[in-house]
Structures are given as structure tokens and as C-alpha cells.
Amino acid sequence: MFEEEYKLEFFKEKGYIRKVCPSCQTGYWTLEDSATVCGDTPCVEYSFIGASPMNRPYSLDEVREFYLKFFEEMGHKRFERYPVIARWRDDVFLTNASIYAFQPFVTGGLIPPPANPLTMSQPCIRMSDLDSVGKTGKHLSSFEMMAHHAFNSDKEEVYWKDKTTRLCHELLTKTFGVAENGIIYKEKPWFGGGNAGPSLEVQVSGLELATLVFMNLKRDDRGKTEIEGELYSPNELRIVDTGYGLERFAWASMATPTIYDAIYPDLTKELFEASGISHELENERYASIMAEHAKLAGIMDVRTDTKLQDLRMECVKRLGKKGFEITIKELNEMMAPIEKVYAIVDHTHTLAFMHTDGIVPSNTKAGYLARLVIRRTLRFMEALNLEYSLSELVLRQIKTFDNILNQELNDVIVEMLDLETKRYHETMGKGTRLVKTFLEKTVRKEEIPLDTLIDFYDTHGIHPRVVQTIARDMDLNVEIPDAFNSIIATRHQSPEAEKDKKKKIYDLPPTKLLYYEPTDLKECDAVVLHSDEGKVILDGTVFYPEGGGQPCDFGVISTPSKIVNVTDVQRYGDVIVHTVDSNIPKGEMVHCSVDWDRRMALTRHQSGTHVILGSARNVLGGHVWQSGAQKGLDQSRVDISHFRKIEEEEIEKIELVANETLLKNIPVEKIWMDRGEAEKQYGFRLYQGGVPIGKKIRVVRIGDFDVEACAGTHVRQTNELGLIKILKTERIQDGVERIIFSAGMASVKHVQKHHSLLRESAGVLRVFPEQLPKTVNRFFEEWKSQKKQIEKLRKHGAQSPVQALKEGAELAGDVKLLSHIQEDADKNTFEELIAIGRKVYDMEKTVAILGCDFEGGKIIIARSKDLDLDCAALASEAGKLIGGGGGGKPEFAQAGGKSKKDIQKAVNELKKKIKDLL
């Protein structure tokens, strides 16, 4: 396919020969007449390991700068990188390639490119080969794709295939010193993101250093070109889409056995030492083992454990032939920890990009993929018994790559990753018990369905490897799927496609949108262009249609003969459809009136959402993004990305910042802008509530406080919001917090309601509202104390307190002497002791001495009516013993003092005296 497309003048000038590889049946271009294969793995092995094809070793920073400088000198504008989270797209979560930065709006011809031609080095994240990271020596979950792009059209021809290939060739030969005869160009059709075209893979020493894509087709069901079962037709733009592997350039220049040793030399060395792993590349035997393993990984599939063992067996054979004897067991034991170190350095680099670009770990969207990498890294760190924290390693990567990574979120990232680590360990503990219970109940334990394993991971954080380990401890053998991480990453790499909601298409002119300007327009006149079954379309409307989380307007439409109610308003393309409760004839001139109270309530909550979001970002950090919103009449909600529950103090700060913003009376600007210009000026913070379609987008800006693309209705100045009140916050899912708030008169009503509740509550307790906290706390403490007393008395079973005292009584002749001292007593306890003492009077031949430590110490002395004993005199003596006094009646008396510590002594003295008297 595309064979004619590859016949370039450049190849002819240089003397390149086209051949077909007998191994993969692919066409390729080479200067070597003796060449027999395409120069790509697995048709050939790496030949650069230990023998670099470049003129010297290059660091990552050097490769990037030499590359960008070369293309700047060739007339390209250097373009800053885009985030690794594709905020500007609604079809993917992560940036997989440099062309993602320009899809779909530039590649679709909707907006012009920011420069033409341009060059950039775009960080990318790909999770589809996650299980291969660390094993093959070449796979990375994050990398930089250096690129130069040109966008050709009938109006502007920049450059196409021939110059693209010349530029690549010159870069390799003149900048990096690669020999011309060492460069092979391999033909390969390319497709992705709805586009396709011919491409050339640039092979050097068995390593693909670059891909040159010539994107000239677009997916079209009526197209005539078929690729992989899809039909394509010519695209309006012919796009040069190139990708040069930054890390691969550095690897080839350093000629190390693995890419990890080339791009993360310091951290890999440190982690090897911390893990007790000997990693001596200068040792001939060790270097040979690593080199052979890497070469084989380049030509063999290692995505499954079985195939990895096949690779190791072949490696053992090769090493034996070279005089380096090693067993398969020794090789496995050697490589297992090494692969974990490689994966850790790669994964922490990936997390550094994810989190500095604002991804918050969660169980959905990009946050799910971040958590997947976090947990895989933590498992490897545990297996190696590393004493580092995950946050420490990620922070190291952030600081190492500080020339391309944002440093502003470092404190947030440390807190976030420390919390994720804690949650991981907690989840593992709970999940382990669940797995054991499951395995005990499962009949055929060796065949756990993939969906069950995914549920274990998604719901409980338990990886299949952990399931297998638990099963092994139970003397069970459980088979788990290969490449599990790659499977679930692929499942979660893009949003679920929404089911097409087929809306009726009206062949009518676009409706004039009169609800935007002026913002206080309440009425308008219009002509009915369409009317059918209660659906009315006007030439212009003041009614806002439902959209962006804002409900539609209500109101009335008046005709010369009647007034009809508008009960729903929806947008169908460029046409606004009104649902009315009575038909209106087509062609009728009508007058529209909006329910203004409803409109203003919704408008205030729409603008209030922007203020709350900006305030949350101000208080919580730059990682805060809107995850959803819904406006209402009495209250609204905005969902934000955040890694923990919002604390009360933070809620108060957010509310204060919001209301300070209202008091500043900042103008709320609403401007229609070209999408490219808006992105250039404000960045991707624009896309909080989703990605609007169209060449032009409506930008709503509140000074320097907040700016978003928004089609909703808004106030003119922030003071028109009146008051913002946060009603509550709640966690709706992991990584997403919901803030429920009110604005305008709705806030005033909520405040009044709360004040009324306070006033009523204070009235019940007969205190002033400001005394409520202290009073409620006192009642609560008293309640706790009573509960404690009840629990102590319950220890005596169903007995009454008096009966319990009787059973512990001493005898003085034929008289029962009851005694008890209650510690940690309060007023209620003291009153209970008094009640018990009063009951003694009706008993037979009984004396009770009851003490407690309430208010410095209290002692109650009581006797039954059949005894002749002066309790008042005894109380007076007891009072002196505890630093106070006492008195009462002969049958019942009390003593009080200031020395709690002497209560026991006083009770003992009383007991002795009473025994003597009796």
C-alpha cells in the first residue's frame, strides 16, 4: 500500500535502493546493496549496544536542545509542550503523541496551527505496554516525542514528504554523526485519531529512532481507500506528523544495555545500591548478560511470563556459547529485582509528569491511570524493601526535570502521594481478607474470571499477583492473566463513547441568540419559522436553552390571540426549539417574555460556580479542576478534583475568598474568541466544564481570578451575586469533592433558615445563641458521665444500686455497714448517691457511708430508723478530715471539703468510729 508515495526525489539523489524484507514482507530503502533485511526488530537485533552509531554520548537535555535548535535554524518556530493530560480533548485522557496537541481542531481545519512549520518536544504517556516496562530494556510508560509539524493546504504549501525526509537525514548525519549508510527508511502505513497516510520508520542499528508520517487521509464511510477495515478519503490538509524518540536518541548515543541506564543513570544506581543489587556494567560478564538479554528483548515478544522464560532460555544458550555460564534459575533471580528497579524509575518519572500537570489519583478517568502506576510502583518498592517513600522518589524526578516540569505543586504532590501510600496499605489489609474468603468459597479456584480479578483491583486495590500469592499460602494454584496492567490501562485510556442521541435536524437558518447581549434583555419580538406538535422555532430568541449544567429558561410567548407557556428550551445544532403548551401558527409575529426571577437565580448560580471554582483553586491548589457542575434555583453544586476531604477550615477560606471577590465588584467579561487565540492567551484552564465545539468559543473572564470557556448566562459584575454561602461538601467518589453552595437571595434565605434553627435551639436550652456551643458541650459531658455511671452499675447485673451495696456490706455485730467511693463524679453522680442514701432510712439495721470526689469531695452518712446513731455529728467530724465541714439530721447528713485525696481516709475513720459506737 502507498508504494508510489515512497518514490522520493531525495532517495533518488542519494542513491537509495528499495527492497522488500523477506522476513516481514515490508518495503524499505537502503544505501547498502548487500542489505537483506529491513533493519528493524525483530528482523534484526540491536547492534548499537556497546557500539554507538553517534558521534558522542548525549544527555536528554542535550538531545532535546540540539534537536530543537536544528529545526529552529531550518525555519521552524519552537513551540512549548502541551500537558500530558489532554484537557482540550473529550475522546482521550492522556497525550500519546505530539500530534494530539493539534487534534481535532487544527488537523480538522477548524482553526489554524499556532505556527507553520513548528517544532516541539512533547511529553507523552502510553500505558498499553505497562507490563513490559522494566523487562525489555526499551519500553517506557512516559517519554518525550520530539517533533516537527507542517500543515499543508491548497492555499499554503509548506513542505511535504521529500523535505521532511531530507531534514531527518541531515539531523542524523550532521548533528548526531550517524553514517548515511547506517540509516534505513522502512515503509509503513499509519493510521490513528481518524487520520491516516504513508509513513517512514527511521532505523539505525536496529533501533527505530523516528517515524515520519504524511497524514493526507481522513476517516470517511464514503472513502475509497481502505486501511485495517476502515475507509478513508483525501483530507483537506496534508500534515507532516513526525515523532523522534528523545530517550532513544540518548540510549543509542550512550550504547548502554537498557534505555533506563542511559536516561536515569543516577537514580537507577542509587536504587540498585539501596536494594543490595550488584549492577556493574563495567564487569565484562555482567555487561554481556545484560546486553544479550536486551538484544533478545528487542526481537522477542515478552508480554507473557511464558514468552519471557523463552527469552531467558535463549539468553542462557547464547551466553554459554560466549563462555559465560549461567543457569535459568540464576538469570531469573538476577533479572527480577533489576526489572523492578527499572520499572520504579520509569513509573516515578511518569507520575512526576502526571501530577505536575494536575492529575489527581482517583478511580475514574486519568486519575485511575495515575493510581494504577502508583500501586504498581508501591508493589515493586515493597518487594525490594526500599526505605524511600514514593513521594520522595517522585519529587526527585520533578527536581531532576525542573527545566520542563512545573514546581508549584510540589507540596501538594507530596501530601497526595503520602495519602495514596497510606490508602494503599489500608486497602491491601482489607482486600486480603476478602480474597481469602473468596478463595475459600470458590469451587474451581484455579480459574478466576478476568472480570473478577479486575473487580478485585478496581474495588479493593488487590492486584492478581497478590491474589496468586494469597492462594499459594493457602496451598492453592491460581492462574492469572498475562499483561494484566496493560489490559486494564487499555480499558481506561479513553472515555466511554456516548450513545448517539439522534436529534431531529431542522433545515432552518440559525436562531439569533438574543439572551447574551444585552445581559438584561427580558423580552423580544420574533417570527415563528416552524411550529409542530408543541415545538416552536423562532428567528431569534431571548430564551436560554438547557446546556452546560444550566437549566433552560421558562416564560411565555404572546400572540395577538393568546398567551402560551414555554416549558422547555433545547438546542439542536444552530437552532433553538421551544416547547409550548399550545400550538402557534407558522409565520405569526410573537412577543417573548422570560421568567426573569428564574433567569437571575440561575445566572447568579452560573457565575457563582466560576467564583467557587476559582476560590477552591486559590485555597486548595492548582491541581483543582472542575469535574462537573449543575445549577439550580436555590442551590448549585460544583465537583472538583481533590485528593482528600475538604476540611472545615478550608471550606471557610473558600467561602471568604469567594465573597471577597464579590465585594471587589470585578467585571465579568464575556468575549467570543478564536479558539487558537483563546488557548494561546489563557491556556487549557479554559476547559473546565468540557470542551466546546466550534472555531470560536465564548470566554468568560473574571479579572485575573478565573477564566473559562462557557456558554451560560452571567452577571455583569461580581457584586451582582450578592452573597455566596457554602452549604456543605461531600465526597462523591475517590478524588472528587462536591461543593454545594447558594448565591444571591437563595444565600440570604439559607442564612436566615440557619439563624432561625439556632434561635429555636437556644430557646429550648434557655440560653443565648452565642452560648449554645458551651451549653451543648456541658450537656454532652454530663450525658457521657451518666452513661459511664450506668455502665458501671450494669456490671452488677440487673441488681439495683442499693442491692449491689448490700452484697458488699461489712458487719458490725448485727448491723450492716455499707460503704462506697465514686471517682470522676459530677453533679448527677452526687445526686444519685443522695438518692441511695435516702433509701437507707427504710432498711433494717443498716448504716451507709457514700463518698465521691465531686467539687473537692463529698461524704453522705445515712442510717436506718431502727438505729440510734447521730449522722450529723459524724458528718461534722468527716468534714474536718477532708478540709471542710458537715451537718444534717440524725438519720441523714452530708459533709463537704476541699481535699479529694483524703476521702478514702475519712471513710475509713468513719467506719472505725461507727463500729466502736455500735
| Three-state helix/strand/coil letters over 396-430 | HHHHHCCCCCCCCCHHHHHHHHHHHHHHHHHHHHH
∠184-188-193 over CA atoms, to 5°?
130
Q: Which three cell numbers stand for residue 250?
A: 540518548
Say how far apart CA 544 and CA 698 lie, in whole Å. 15
Q: Quick one: cell of 742?
A: 447558594
Containing 658, the helix (H) or strand (E) segment is helix 648-663
- Are 550 and 544 spatial neighbours (Cβ–Cβ below 8 Å)? yes
Count helices and strands in the chain by DSSP H and E runs:
24, 33
DSSP state at residue 497: P
Q: Of 868, 865, 856, 866, nearest to 903 (Cα)? A: 856
Out of 93-107, 565-579, 804-818, give the one with best mean pLDDT.
565-579
376 burial via Cβ count (<10 Å: 0-12, 13-18, 19+): buried
Residue 737 confidence (pLDDT) above 90? yes
Alpha-carbon span 147 to 697, nearest angstrom? 28
The full DSSP string for 839-905 is: HGGGSSSEEEEEEE-GGG-EEEEEE-TTS---HHHHHHHHHHHTTSEEEE-SSEEEEE-S-GGGHHH
What pLDDT score does 442 carry? 66
Q: List beta partners, residue 590.
A: 526
3-state secondary structure of 50: coil
Report residue 75: phi and psi, to 5°: 90, 10
Q: Please state, in angstroms and as integers, the Cα–Cα distance from residue 796 to each residue in 593, 635, 785, 824, following that order.
A: 77, 54, 18, 19
| Separation of alpha carbons 467 and 442, rounded Å | 13
Give the tens place of pLDDT for each residue, 425-461. Answer: 888 777 777 777 777 776 555 567 777 777 777 666 6
pLDDT digits (tens, 9 = 90+) for 522-552: 999 999 999 998 999 999 999 999 998 999 9
Q: Indicate whether 783 pLDDT > 90.
A: no
Q: What pLDDT, on the 0 to 100 scale, is given for residue 454? A: 74
Distances (CA, A) of 612 to 537, 634, 656: 35, 16, 10
Of the listed ranges 76-90, 471-485, 599-613, the one predicted with least confidence: 471-485
**DSSP state letters, 94-157:** B--SGGGGGTTTTTTTSS--SSSSEEEEEEEE--TTGGGTTTSSS--SEEEEEEEEEEE-SS--
Angle, helix 265-274 to helix 328-356, in steps of 10 degrees: 130
pLDDT at 787 over 90: no
**DSSP secondary structure letter of residue 547:** B
- b/e burial code for range 630-665 (CB count within 10 A of at least 16 → b): bbbbebbbbbbbbbbebeeebbebbbebbbebbeee
Cβ neighbours of residue 865 closer than 8 Å, sequence gap 6 or more = 841, 842, 891
- Phi and psi, residue 572, nearest 5°: -120, 95
Q: Are 129 and 143 in contact (CB under 8 A)?
A: no
Alpha helices per DSSP H over 674-744: 675-682
pLDDT (0 to 100) of residue 447: 63
What pLDDT does residue 445 have?
52
In the chain, what percentage of residues exceed pLDDT 70? 93
- Cα 61 to Cα 71: distance, rounded to the nearest angstrom: 16
- Does residue 94 contact residue 84 with C-beta atoms inside 8 Å? yes
Neighbours of 761 (CB within 10 A): 14
- Reading the block at residue 548, the C-alpha cell is 452546560
Q: DSSP string covering 457-493, please? A: HHHH---HHHHHHHHHHTT------TTHHHHHHHHTS
Write the CA distances from 191 to 89, 226, 230, integer angstroms: 18, 11, 10
What average pLDDT does this structure show over 814-836?
A: 85
d(CA 78, CA 685): 22
In percent, how much of the chain has pLDDT > 90? Answer: 58
In whole angstroms, give the CA distance from residue 125 to residue 142.
Answer: 4
**Strand 512-513 vs strand 540-541: parallel, antiparallel, or unpaired?**
parallel
CA separation for the pair 17, 558 (Å, rounded): 79
Cα gap 644→419, rounded to integer Å: 8
Three-state DSSP class for residue 93:
coil
- Burial of 90-106, coded b for 16+ CB within 10 Å and e otherwise, reads bebbbbbbbbbbbbbbb
- Please state, in angstroms and rounded to a whole number, the distance separating the CA atoms of residues 512 and 538: 9
Over 90: is that where the pLDDT of 207 sits?
yes
Q: What is the largest CA-CA distance in the chain?
A: 132
Q: How confident is the model at residue 798 (pLDDT cuts 50, 70, 90)?
A: very low
- The span from the CA of 87 to the CA of 317, in Å, is 50
Enumerate residues 6+ apart whose C-beta is below 8 A from 882.
856, 857, 859, 895, 896, 897, 898, 899, 900, 902, 903, 906
Rg for the chain, CA atoms, rounded: 39
Are the C-beta atoms of residues 118 and 148 closer than 8 Å to each other?
A: yes
Helix (H, G, I), strand (E, B) or coil at 693: coil
Nearest alpha-carbon partner for 459 in 417, 427, 486, 437: 427
The torsion angles phi and psi of 759, rounded to 5 degrees, stand at -65, -45
Query: CA end-to-end span of the chain, whole Å?
Result: 120
Task: Report pLDDT for 461.
Answer: 66
At 752 the three-state DSSP class reads: helix
Res. 44: pLDDT tops 70: yes
* Class of residue 883 by CB neighbours under 10 A (exposed 0-12, middle 13-18, buried 19+): middle
List the one residue out of 542, 531, 538, 624 whose CA is nearest residue 581: 531
How confident is the prediction for the chain on average, in pLDDT? 89
- DSSP annotation of 182: G
User: Quick check: 261 and 173 in contact, CB under 8 A?
Assistant: no
Any idea what DSSP says for residue 437? Answer: H
31 pLDDT band (50/70/90 cuts)? very high
Among the listed residues 243, 75, 248, the one whose alpha carbon sits nearest the alpha carbon of residue 168: 243
Specify the amino acid at residue 805. Answer: L
**Is the backbone peptide bond immediately before 481 cis, with ω within 30 degrees of 0?**
no
C-alpha cell at 695: 472555531
At 287, the pLDDT band (50, 70, 90 cuts) reads confident
Position with higher pLDDT, 55 vs 301: 55
What would the pLDDT profile of 348-389 be if each residue is shown by its tens digit? Answer: 999 999 999 999 998 888 898 999 999 999 999 999 999 999
The string of DSSP letters for 197-211 reads E-EEEEEETTEEEEE
**Is the whole-model pTM more than 0.85?**
no
Among 122-136, 210-224, 707-721, name the most confident range. Answer: 707-721
